[in-house]
Chains A and B, each alone.
Chain A
Amino acid sequence: MSKRAATPKVASLADLFALAWQIEADAVERYKLLADQMETHNNPELVKVFRDLARAEGIHAEEIRRLAGDIDVVEHARKTGGWKGESPEEADLSAAHYMMTPWHALQMALVGEKRALAFFTGIVETTKDAKIKQMAAEFVEEEAEHVNLVHRLLRKYPEPAEGWADDPDPPNTVE
């Protein structure tokens, strides 16, 4: 897994909105990339899962932009530098496998949602600014709902049996 970014400082509501928006925007890009990988490697079920995840994160990103009102979250993220490493919901590219199942994709999503939840919870617990605390608490609720949603989806996609990656014609066969 790639190195995660140190938690950036949140000194204003603009910082909070920009970081929250970037979390979702980065997740969109990462899920799109994974969907493309699965398309290339003919795993259509996963293409759909990753595209659906990208779409959902895109909706969240737009909601944050709307909530931010006059704050230009994109510009603020660019100016402040945002997350210096990978942001919390960026799925681990190195965990991808050409035969992965929806369960694996949802595990990736779960890890990301939990990291985002921990980030916003940390802000609620540490900030002394009432407005930031209130908005961060809303994001905590939102992320907690996302965690629950992924858990619900996981009921539909149980963990695959051992040997899920067994391939009768694996790419590393020496001919």
Chain B
Amino acid sequence: MNLDVRPACKPGDYKSDVKPIWCPGCGDYHVLLSFTRAFAQLGVPPERIAVISGIGCSSRIPAYTNCYGFHGVHGRSLALAAGLKVTRPDLTVVVASGDGDGYSIGGNHFIHACRRNIDMTYVVMDNHIYGMTKGQPSPTTEPEFDTALSPGGTGLRPFHPLVVALASGANFIARCFSGDFNQTADILVEAIEHPGFSFVEILSPCVTFRPDEKEWKNMVHPAPVGPTDDPAKAARRIMTDDGFNLGVLYRGKRQPYRPEFGAQVSDPAELEKEFEL
């Protein structure tokens, strides 16, 4: 967390002039509102924030903010972000991804980012489908979800990202619903302020390939109990909830990973020497 406070920032200060091309009704519009509201609440100026993403509908979000951004390689947003954060610890680093980019292509990076516990916030907009590539089942798609691309459903048990995050060492775990974007903004503020690797899953309906997800607004509910710092308790709660519990579910106490570097090389010629054979 690096809070270079400038209270005059308003949510609009974090929006770029680029108009989103998401489908009207998409939950990601709400997530963008949550991002800008959270940044304004934190008061961190846009130039002190980096929004890093991979590939997919959700990963378009850096372009829609006025912060520094990097629309990276599929599934590799966390690797990029980790590199940035360890070399520029002064920046607030927020990583945006989707369930395909984050849990399938980037699944391994997800596990090790949790394990490393670098001080950054990972936001996954989970719509249980690959939207950008026209509706293939993702790791969180229900086994019986029937599409032309997966007739009769995949029959596969969905990935449980919150449990994986907890088991792998994430230091803060929360679930939000895109439609409740003020609560989401509040939770993003908490996630960014919490030291270490914070993981926020946002249920964000895909209105085009998963119109059934419009019902999520009637299914989500606040978690019945507050967050715990006990991983065993958190594991039991997360494993047994219905997938629609909202709120901060785990707030850990692990120290973030902060590598120490030797003398920094400032002259490119010196750097080239290091690679000479």
| Contact A174-B135, Cβ < 8 Å, known A38-B24, A95-B25, A96-B25 | yes
Contact B24 A97, beta carbon cutoff 8 Å: yes
Candidates A3, A39, A95, A171; contact of B208 at CB < 8 Å:
A171
> In the docked arrangement, what's the CA distance between A2 and B24, Å?
15
> In the docked arrangement, what's the CA distance between A65 and B269, Å?
60
| Contact A3-B179, Cβ < 8 Å, known A36-B19, A93-B30 | yes
Task: Determine the chain B residues whose CB is within 8 A of the CB of A94 once the complex forms.
Answer: 25, 27, 30, 179, 205, 207, 214, 217
Contact B182 A174, beta carbon cutoff 8 Å: no
Q: Is A1 an interface residue (CB 8 A)?
A: yes
Candidates B12, B21, B29, B182; contact of A84 at CB < 8 Å:
B182
Min distance, Cβ B31 to any Cβ of chain A, angstroms: 11
Which residue of chain A is the closest to B213 with respect to CB atoms?
A: A94
Q: How many residues of A contact B (CB 8 A)?
A: 28
Min distance, Cβ B176 to any Cβ of chain A, angstroms: 11
Among A29, A40, A94, the most chain B Cβ lie within 10 Å of the Cβ of A94
Q: Is B23 an interface residue (CB 8 A)?
A: yes
Candidates A2, A96, A171; contact of B181 at CB < 8 Å:
A2
Task: Determine the chain A residues whose CB is within 8 A of the CB of B20 once the complex forms.
Answer: 36-37, 40
| Contact A1-B24, Cβ < 8 Å, known A86-B182, A174-B134 | no
Min distance, Cβ A10 to any Cβ of chain B, angstroms: 20
Interface size class of B (residues with CB under 8 A): 20 to 34
Task: Determine the chain B residues whose CB is within 8 A of the CB of A150 once the complex forms.
Answer: none
- A:31-54 near B, CB below 8 Å: 33-34, 36-41
Min distance, Cβ B30 to any Cβ of chain A, angstroms: 6
> In the docked arrangement, what's the CA distance between A33 and B24, Å?
10
Task: Determine the chain B residues whose CB is within 8 A of the CB of A34 once the complex forms.
Answer: 24
Question: What are 14 residue pairs bridging A and B, where the CB atoms are less than 8 Å apart in the complex?
Answer: A3-B180, A3-B182, A29-B12, A37-B29, A38-B24, A40-B20, A86-B182, A94-B27, A94-B179, A94-B205, A96-B24, A97-B207, A172-B209, A174-B148
Chain B residues engaging chain A, CB cutoff 8 angstroms: 12, 19-25, 27, 29-30, 134-135, 147-149, 179-183, 205, 207-209, 214, 217
Other than the given A85-B182, A94-B217, A96-B24, 19 more pairs (CB < 8 A) read A1-B179, A1-B217, A2-B181, A2-B217, A3-B182, A3-B183, A33-B29, A37-B24, A41-B23, A41-B24, A84-B182, A93-B25, A94-B30, A94-B205, A97-B25, A98-B23, A172-B134, A174-B134, A174-B135
